[in-house]
Amino acid sequence: MDESAKQIFKMKFAKLTMDLNAIFFLAALSILATFLEITSYSHYIAVICGVSAILLALYFRKAYMNDKKWLMAQDDTSGKPAKETEISVSAGEQTGDIDA
């Protein structure tokens, strides 16, 4: 992975982390507003926070899947590709050059 791809990955990871934290915060706020009964609007606040958490969770899932596809499409140049080693091992097995 080159430097520009690493920077893009860091930004995507930070965005997903903030989204996930917001989901947890909204869910916790919804639970607190439901059970604490601080004001007469606490049930409305709970519903709004709960629906917001669900919508944000759906957005998070979609963004996570897209970012995962992007990450899997990146070229890993730090090591040897796995297919190349499999080919060399299977070629050695066919010629009988493998020492057991």
Instruction: Report the amino acid identity of residue 9.
Output: F
Q: Per residue in 30-65, pLDDT tens?
A: 999 888 877 788 889 999 999 999 999 999 999 999
Does the pLDDT of residue 87 top 60, yes or no? no
- pLDDT for 75 equals 72
Q: What tokens appear for 37 in the block?
A: 């009964």
Quick one: pLDDT at residue 25? Answer: 97
Please count the other Cβ atoms lying within 10 Å of the Cβ belonging to residue 3: 7
* Domain locations along the chain: 3-95
Residues 6+ apart with CB under 8 A from 1: 9, 74, 75, 76, 77, 78
- Return the axis-axis angle of helices 3-36 and 42-73, rounded to nearest 10°: 160
What pLDDT score does 100 carry? 47
Question: How remote is the C-alpha of 7 from its chain's centroid?
Answer: 16
pLDDT score recorded for residue 17: 96
